[in-house]
Structure 1
Amino acid sequence: MKRSIACATLLLAVASTVVLPVEAQSRRRGGTHAVIWQNPGPISSRNLYYGPGSAKLAPAPPFVFLKEDKDGESPKFKVTDANRVEWSVKLGPEAQAETVAVRLLWAVGYFAEEAYYFDRVRVKGLPMLSRGREYVDGQGNVRGARFEPRRRNVERADTWEWNK
């Protein structure tokens, strides 16, 4: 478990250098350096429950299955919520550790995307997945799920790989 948390923290630190808000991306193109950290101010004033997100931005049920994502090692799939936001849902041991790592990195000033963890959630139309069947009960109930939004205002760079 400690190893998973350490790996997730490292992965998020690296990923935060690749995924920046559109404003930071445009500044980089303008001849200045990309910004991956800012002074967060008093950390005690940061909301670690939602991290970079908020109650207003959090996933809203009902969730409807779109497609399975077979990239990477962890079981993942895409859903839409009541607000028609598309979410990437990750299952397995990384899901909770990744959500905590996002909160901690954000709390100390690193840019991080929203991540929301649900102990249990229902997904309409969820088929039998090729991976992660142990997290799904067959009636669309999923346990241990990390939700990450696919916001239109976030520009994504090429994916990062260990073996490049």
Structure 2
Amino acid sequence: MSKKYLFYILTFIVTISILGIISYSFRYQWFINSIVDQNHKLGLNRNITGFAADYPYIYTYGDYGILILNTLPNGSVKILPNYKGFTYIDGAYSIDDSSLDRLKNVYGDRLRVYSSIDGFSEDEQLIIDEITNKQPKRFDKNDWLYKSF
């Protein structure tokens, strides 16, 4: 095989890889005060009142409860649900609708549903206390990693 064809093949592979990385980086999106999984058109949390990011994790506190999202490919989703926030439908019809059944169908073994805050690790509990305003913030208010509405 000539060097010319090898160059074209390598360029094609690199281009496809870069496009895949870019498209994955837009998987989780914010809409005003909600977080959505764009791949599955699934609302993960809405009316978020507390937020923190500690790469690769996003911590949110909102209508659906406490959500810890690992943003890496095949990352886990941990949730302490507020059952009043979820709609009780089998599937999501818009980004505002979600159900635990839909989350289980989408994330499978990567979804962990907790019944109490004690199931989270100590580090996770500290961040959860911060975003739920139970503890003083460890981040400066101007720090881009922390935002409380």
The answer to whether TM tops 0.5 is no
Find the structure with the greater CA-based Rg. Answer: 2
Question: Counting helix residues as a fraction of each chain, which structure ranks higher?
Answer: 2
User: Which TM-score band (shorter chain)?
Assistant: under 0.3
Q: Structure 2 length normalisation: TM-score?
A: 0.23
Q: Which has the higher contact order (CA 8 A, sep 6+)?
A: 1
